[in-house]
Structure 1
Amino acid sequence: MVNRNNTTSTTDAPRYNWDEEEKNNVLGYFFWGYVLTQIPGGRLSEIFGTKIIIGIGIMTASLFTILTPTASYMNYYCLLFVRFALGIALGVQWPSMPPMATKWVPPTGMSKFLSHLTASSLGVAVTLPMCGYLIDYWGWPSVFYVTGTIALTWTICWFYLIYDSPEQHPRISENEKLKLRHEIKRDVPSAKKKSTPWKKILTSGPVWAIVMANTCASFTFFIAFMQLPTYMSHVLHFSIKANGWLSSLPYFVRYCTSVISSCVADFIKKSERLSTTAIRKTFCSILFFGTFILFAIQAFWGYNSIVSVAVFTSSLGLMGLATPGIYANSVDIAPAYSGTVYGISQVPAALAGYALTKIVAVITKDEQSFQQWTYAELFGPKRIIGGGLLTANLLTILTPVASYSNYYCLLVARAILGVVMGIHWPSTPLIATRWIAPTDTSKFLSHMAAASLGVVITLPICGYMIDSYGWPSVFYVTEYFTCKRILSCIVILTFMIHHMLRLNISIAIVEMTIHNNSNASVKGPRYHWNEEEKNEILGSFFWGYFVMQIPGGRLSEIFGPRIVLGTGLLIAALLTILTPVTCKWGFYWVVLARFALGLSLGVQWPSIPPLAAKWVSSTDTSKFMAHMMASALGAALTLPMCGHLIAQFGWPSVFYVTGTITLLCTIAWFYLAYDSPEQHPRISDKEREALKAEVNYNQIEKNNKSPPWGKMFTSGPVWALIVGNSFSSFTVFIVLFQMPSYISQVLHMDIMVNGWLSGLPHIVRYTFAVIWSYLADKEVKKGRFSRTTIRKACNTIAFLGAASFFTIQAIWGYSWIVSVIVFTGSFALLSFTTPGILANCVDIAPAYSGTLLALSHVPACVFGYFSTKIVGFFTKDEQNFQQWSYIFWIVVGVYLFASIFFIVFGSGEVQSWHPKIVKDAEMNQLRNEQDQPLTPPN
């Protein structure tokens, strides 16, 4: 944002001629607003509740953050005002947490709960590198737009999930409510009607001890928080990306030490080996003396990058001890006024932050050198010693946005940021007073240390973005998310949803049915379905799925994938939500619902190849088609999620939750996905022209005729595609639908462990599908091997590798360790079918790619159905390893046959019966027609 004489960086974003004093004014004005709402934030949280105070503060802060670049465009003073207002909004946050802790956390857990306040360090650790990348790619304004949007989204979560006390929570169970009452054992008098005993508070020695400790700790913390990136850049001469990562590291360490030290403090308190007073004093002493020694080292040898990184990381690690030493103390000495006490301590702490910016400005006004920073560092540890909290993530993001107008606008913006953040932290203790038992307060407040995690993520991301696209990219994040990339994201999401809807019943059915040897209590009705009936329910899906494969592919070629796939998702969502109702009606209603679900989801896979033909170049086909393997990622997330839902709320919740998620995804699909770049209303002209130049399949001659069915069905490559997809799907469906039952009834794992183990192979499958697809496309671009060779090599590795794994499973699969390794390893190798099979339908006939994939899915669906019948046949009488070993040997044989067949008949070249490719001379004439859908024959 600021012009430097010695800089060589290029950027399209505006830069301002601010000297060191003006820059530090922008940073410092935040603290004036932050100071104003510290005491009011704590008191208001005690009166009106933490939920509303923090929620309004975060929402206001997010809006000011988004407006920061605009303020900087206007002028310097507008930016100062925005920063001031931000300080007001955030000033309520810290003082609000102790009052909440008194309601939610027992005294022996107070340190752990309050350690969550240092999650601000985690936010800093994520924010700094993220902002570095954002600035690098899209410029400094993107930092404010991205972080403001994140804050707005989080505000919605806050208002929905957070309540001031267990009694006010509408979704808390009676068991948890009674447990919290028993653990807390704290009768906090109401502070709403009585006036605050200000005189006694302000003349209390323990209160002033908290004030002094928090102020001194905050002073040095703000040095690292607000000035460390500048020190890294100007004194140690790190690049923006390296600066982001190194600046974020101390915050991540701080959060970890905060949580660990809080757990230790609460453990000591529960064991009653030391008094509460002794515990608080011990941790504060370690914090201050340790930080003093480290900064003394920095003052002498801080010109060395290794020393600086070690000192800042270790010192912020010690600052994590402030949670059990300082933050939990306000709840110890005055639980009813914990927010007020903490707010009082935050006032001089915020002033110390502003004073810091002025001190650094005075010392480094003429030059940023190690000699000047030596004075600042010596002043910090000698007079203050310690680290503080605050949300550096927001501070880092807001600073560049306000600079667009002028220096004073940025100063104002920084002041507003301080105001907004001033209400954030003070509100947290109030939540703890009402929600957390005294023995768990520290654990609860330790979540605030997640701010460090935010820094860890943010700094490297921003550094990378700045390095590649310039600093404005950090704020103009939409420039990076092109319509093509957004389409890829929404395709990934829809395929995650696809397997979520297919799999939810696979794990739910374990608890839906009555087992003779089970005595577990289940939330929800249970049904007398035998193994054959269970597999009939699972298998009925495939009949509907089978019916819609070819129609789904052809309809997508005619009417477009957007409407076909979107309609299917909408119907599937409604059917999923109605599944528990059909169970009450009877067995055949469930079968019918699953059949209809198969119909609605059957159009999804065949709809993607026609979409790829209009959006993706031939050399990137494998990567795009790899997004279809996000279905495996959906499976990996769905199984453990369903396990937890069943354990907590009963099996019907699985269908309500997954159906609701699908409805939301459907809305996103219709808004974001379009059949071609020409139809997209929000695509830029630059991206549209780039896609026209890249996607050669738009040069296909317009084809109004029906597909050449006779030539298709006599084509060896088509049958290689069909056999490969069908036989690979056979095993995938066995693992997909039967693995939860195998883990439960053969390996005897409980439902939650079942979910995680069942989900692991699928997340591995998606991860490796993306990796293998990337490598395959890279080889296609290099041209060292033909497409045919690449497709055959990928499928051979997939089939023979999986056959080897299942041979091991058939022999030693009674061990859960062997089973997990086999299922995970085989799925990692089966992901080679993404560049081997899924991309192959676009290779041999791009104009009919949807139809081809549908043709290969028809027998795949039949195999999926018969997989349930085969499992039902072998395990009808008893679920044991001996019966399952027969199934595993069948899988081995299937893979060996599929490997040989594809090697003999497979191809990666466009077939002779495919419509001709138009030459470049005819391209302009056909561009007006390229987005017209294929129409049925007259």
Structure 2
Amino acid sequence: MSSEKTPLLESKGRNEDAISKVPYYWSERWKLAYILFIGTMAHFSLRTNLSVSIVCMVNQTNSSNSYLHNQSRSRSDEGTLNWDTATQTGLLSAYFYGYLVLQIPGGWVASKFGPKKVVGIGMTLAGIATLLTPLAAGQNVIYVYIIRVIAGLCGGVIYPSIYTLWGRWAPPLEASLLIAVTGIGCGIGTIVTFAMTGVLCDSSFLNGWPSVFYITGGFALLWSILWILAVADGPELSKRISAVEREYILKSLSNRTPQNGILSCIPVLLETTSSLVACYIADKLRQKKILSTTYTRRLFQVTGYIGAAGFLMGTGYISKEQRTLAVVFLSISTAFNGFSMAGYSSNLLDFAPRYAGVICGICNFIGTVPGMVAPIVVGVLTPHKSQEEWRDVFYLGGGMALLSAVLYVMLARSDIQPWAAKHIEIIIENPQSVIKVPIDDNSVNLSTHDRELTH
């Protein structure tokens, strides 16, 4: 047999040799992933900065649920803003009303005008709105509502635009890991923001809580400058990319239909919508005493995970000729995942309100591990990219969701835990004497008159 290579083998050999010369971890596509990692940190810091800082912004003594809040915070960080519970809830939701509106339009705009421009403008405006929050809070609460909606509108275009950008930059065999690196910034941003907020609220730096908005807003603006200077809408427009990397990316994408920004954001839109609806229904069930808090949390968490698992595993049986149905199944699975906002996410405030920020940080930190491990596991399970191999991947994901649902039913509680209760001293005055009664936070039921005498 001749030892000479056939033209086909020679072509294959040249292709593999060329790929081996393509830069990897310090390539332009990976630099984009690192920048987006920082960007999603900034994005989520703008989303979550009010969630914790509102506790030290508001004068809880004048709040309708002042006793509950006084259990979870010291008097040294008492705020000055007289916002009642309904106002606080509205402000926390305002961002997501704006966020929801521009999900689908954001993807379309990014596809038409370029994701670089859309992300840059969105992050810049969200950063400016955040910087203005302390000024608005000192004037009128209506201004804070407006600013949070604006920040949400600007934030709503960021994720669809990121997916549009990766559709132009990510080689198919690297897309999972590049997107995973990008997404890890979400959890890290939440952790850092929660931890930082507690420290800043207790400090005198820039008058305490306003510094949270100055720092997160300023960070977003600095990142926007880096974004504009360092990022291009595609490898063919980049001035820094090497010829070999540009050729590698463009060739790897040449046989693939470009990613549709609108299609990519549909799951995010459904998840955001389902989380808002689920939380509204959950609060109504508790307010009308139809279900206890514990059973409400279990209901939504289990329903969400079972629904997500069912549609995820069902996707593995859909053929490539039915790809539209596959998108529908994955979107519904993601929508069910939004139920967890009324499940475990809210549960953190039930059993340990004093430590909710810390526990959320721990949960998000652990939650970033699957984002790092999943692409590696998927690569091992799908060497040939066959439907049967991907079916195993969906079974694994669905199985993890079902296991989580079982564990949550067994372990979830809503009562304030003893280790999370704050030991306080109640001073009740009467004509004869002053009585000091040391009690735990979760063992008190005072009348309105008694609360006025509580210190």
Shift in Å, 1:618: 2.2
Q: Distance in 2 between matches of 1:600 and 1:795?
A: 32
Out of 222, 228, 252, the residue aligned to residue 664 of structure 1 is: 222
Out of 361, 365, 373, the residue aligned to residue 771 of structure 1 is: 373
Q: 1:802 to 1:566 in 2, by over 3 A?
A: farther
In the other structure, the counterpart of 1:641 is 196
Shift in Å, 1:673: 1.9
Equivalent AA in structure 2 for residue 768 of structure 1: P
Q: Is the 8 A contact 1:514 1:528 kept in 2?
A: yes
In the other structure, the counterpart of 2:406 is 804
Residue 482 of structure 1 pairs with residue 27 of structure 2: yes
In the other structure, the counterpart of 1:604 is 158
Matches within 5 A, 1:384-395: none
In the other structure, the counterpart of 2:39 is 494
In the other structure, the counterpart of 2:172 is 618
Q: Is the 8 A contact 2:95 2:148 kept in 1?
A: yes
Equivalent AA in structure 2 for residue 792 of structure 1: F
Residue 570 of structure 1 pairs with residue 124 of structure 2: yes
Shift in Å, 1:778: 3.4
Q: What are the ranges of 5 or more consecutive residues in structure 1 without an aligned counterpart?
A: 1-467, 470-477, 819-878, 882-938
In the other structure, the counterpart of 1:719 is 328
- Measured against aligned partners, the alpha-carbon deviations of 1:279-334 in whole angstroms (never above 9, x if no partner) come to xxxxxxxxxxxxxxxxxxxxxxxxxxxxxxxxxxxxxxxxxxxxxxxxxxxxxxxx
Q: 1:780 to 1:614 in 2, by over 3 A?
A: farther
Equivalent AA in structure 1 for residue 37 of structure 2: I
In the other structure, the counterpart of 1:511 is 56
Q: Is the 8 A contact 2:59 2:80 kept in 1?
A: yes
Q: Is the 8 A contact 1:553 1:606 kept in 2?
A: yes
In the other structure, the counterpart of 2:430 is none
Q: Which has the higher contact order (CA 8 A, sep 6+)?
A: 1
Q: Is the 8 A contact 2:381 2:393 kept in 1?
A: no
- Measured against aligned partners, the alpha-carbon deviations of 1:670-712 in whole angstroms (never above 9, x if no partner) come to 1222221101111111211122233355x53899xx99x9xxx
Q: Is the 8 A contact 1:621 1:777 kept in 2?
A: no
Residue 792 of structure 1 pairs with residue 397 of structure 2: no
Matches within 5 A, 1:913-924: none
Q: Distance in 2 between matches of 1:514 and 1:702?
A: 48
Q: Distance in 2 between matches of 1:500 and 1:578?
A: 15
- Measured against aligned partners, the alpha-carbon deviations of 1:553-580 in whole angstroms (never above 9, x if no partner) come to 1111112211111111000100111111
- Measured against aligned partners, the alpha-carbon deviations of 1:109-151 in whole angstroms (never above 9, x if no partner) come to xxxxxxxxxxxxxxxxxxxxxxxxxxxxxxxxxxxxxxxxxxx
Q: Is the 8 A contact 2:190 2:364 kept in 1?
A: yes
In the other structure, the counterpart of 1:700 is 257
Q: Is the 8 A contact 2:102 2:157 kept in 1?
A: yes
Q: Is the 8 A contact 1:511 1:522 kept in 2?
A: no
Q: Distance in 2 between matches of 1:702 and 1:725?
A: 19
Larger radius of gyration: 1
- Measured against aligned partners, the alpha-carbon deviations of 1:552-609 in whole angstroms (never above 9, x if no partner) come to 1111111221111111100010011111111112222211111111100001111122
Secondary structure at 2:202 match in 1: helix
- Measured against aligned partners, the alpha-carbon deviations of 1:811-835 in whole angstroms (never above 9, x if no partner) come to 47643889xxxxxxxxxxxxxxxxx
Q: Distance in 1 between matches of 2:158 and 2:386?
A: 34
Matches within 5 A, 1:785-864: 786=388, 788-790=390-392, 792-811=394-413, 814-815=416-417
Secondary structure at 1:624 match in 2: helix
Q: Distance in 2 between matches of 1:796 and 1:523?
A: 44
Alignment length (residue pairs): 332
Secondary structure at 1:700 match in 2: coil
Shift in Å, 1:726: 2.2
Matches within 5 A, 1:17-166: none
Q: Distance in 2 between matches of 1:702 and 1:643?
A: 40
Q: What are the ranges of 5 or more consecutive residues in structure 2 without an aligned counterpart?
A: 1-19, 61-65, 267-322, 421-440, 444-455
Q: 1:533 to 1:702 in 2, by over 3 A?
A: closer
Secondary structure at 1:618 match in 2: coil
Q: Distance in 2 between matches of 1:733 and 1:620?
A: 34
Q: 1:482 to 1:620 in 2, by over 3 A?
A: closer
Q: What TM-score comes out, normalization by structure 2 length?
A: 0.65
Equivalent AA in structure 2 for residue 509 of structure 1: I
Q: 1:693 to 1:748 in 2, by over 3 A?
A: closer
Q: Is the 8 A contact 1:642 1:755 kept in 2?
A: no
Shift in Å, 1:802: 3.3
Equivalent AA in structure 2 for residue 558 of structure 1: K
Q: Distance in 1 between matches of 2:383 and 2:114?
A: 29
Out of 352, 361, 369, the residue aligned to residue 747 of structure 1 is: 352
Q: Distance in 2 between matches of 1:880 and 1:665?
A: 44
Residue identity over aligned pairs, in percent, reads: 26
Q: Distance in 1 between matches of 2:419 and 2:403?
A: 19
Q: Is the 8 A contact 1:636 1:761 kept in 2?
A: no
- Measured against aligned partners, the alpha-carbon deviations of 1:57-92 in whole angstroms (never above 9, x if no partner) come to xxxxxxxxxxxxxxxxxxxxxxxxxxxxxxxxxxxx
Q: 1:795 to 1:702 in 2, by over 3 A?
A: closer
Secondary structure at 1:495 match in 2: helix
In the other structure, the counterpart of 1:654 is 212
Equivalent AA in structure 2 for residue 502 of structure 1: R
Q: Is the 8 A contact 1:486 1:672 kept in 2?
A: no
Q: 1:796 to 1:787 in 2, by over 3 A?
A: same
Q: Distance in 1 between matches of 2:120 and 2:33?
A: 15
In the other structure, the counterpart of 2:135 is 581
- Measured against aligned partners, the alpha-carbon deviations of 1:637-680 in whole angstroms (never above 9, x if no partner) come to 11111111111132111101111111111111112222211011
Q: Distance in 2 between matches of 1:775 and 1:548?
A: 34
Q: Is the 8 A contact 2:58 2:78 kept in 1?
A: no
Out of 92, 103, 114, the residue aligned to residue 549 of structure 1 is: 103
Shift in Å, 1:614: 1.7
In the other structure, the counterpart of 2:85 is 531
Q: Distance in 2 between matches of 1:816 and 1:562?
A: 50
In the other structure, the counterpart of 1:114 is none
Q: Is the 8 A contact 1:641 1:755 kept in 2?
A: no
Shift in Å, 1:794: 4.6
Q: Distance in 2 between matches of 1:589 and 1:880?
A: 36
Q: Is the 8 A contact 1:524 1:652 kept in 2?
A: no
Secondary structure at 1:619 match in 2: coil
Q: 1:583 to 1:551 in 2, by over 3 A?
A: same
Q: Is the 8 A contact 2:177 2:375 kept in 1?
A: yes
Q: 1:802 to 1:565 in 2, by over 3 A?
A: farther
Q: Distance in 2 between matches of 1:659 and 1:779?
A: 42
Shift in Å, 1:526: 2.4
Q: Is the 8 A contact 1:640 1:754 kept in 2?
A: no
Shift in Å, 1:719: 2.5
Q: Is the 8 A contact 1:544 1:599 kept in 2?
A: yes
Q: 1:807 to 1:613 in 2, by over 3 A?
A: same
Shift in Å, 1:525: 4.6
Equivalent AA in structure 1 for residue 109 of structure 2: L
Equivalent AA in structure 1 for residue 47 of structure 2: R
Q: Distance in 1 between matches of 2:194 and 2:402?
A: 27
Q: 1:787 to 1:694 in 2, by over 3 A?
A: farther
Q: Is the 8 A contact 1:543 1:598 kept in 2?
A: yes
Shift in Å, 1:809: 4.5
Q: 1:489 to 1:582 in 2, by over 3 A?
A: same
- Measured against aligned partners, the alpha-carbon deviations of 1:405-440 in whole angstroms (never above 9, x if no partner) come to xxxxxxxxxxxxxxxxxxxxxxxxxxxxxxxxxxxx
Secondary structure at 1:781 match in 2: coil
Cα RMSD after superposing both structures: 3.5
Q: Distance in 2 between matches of 1:578 and 1:671?
A: 25
Secondary structure at 2:177 match in 1: helix
Equivalent AA in structure 1 for residue 364 of structure 2: H
Q: Distance in 1 between matches of 2:232 and 2:121?
A: 14
In the other structure, the counterpart of 1:297 is none
Equivalent AA in structure 2 for residue 700 of structure 1: T
Secondary structure at 2:412 match in 1: helix
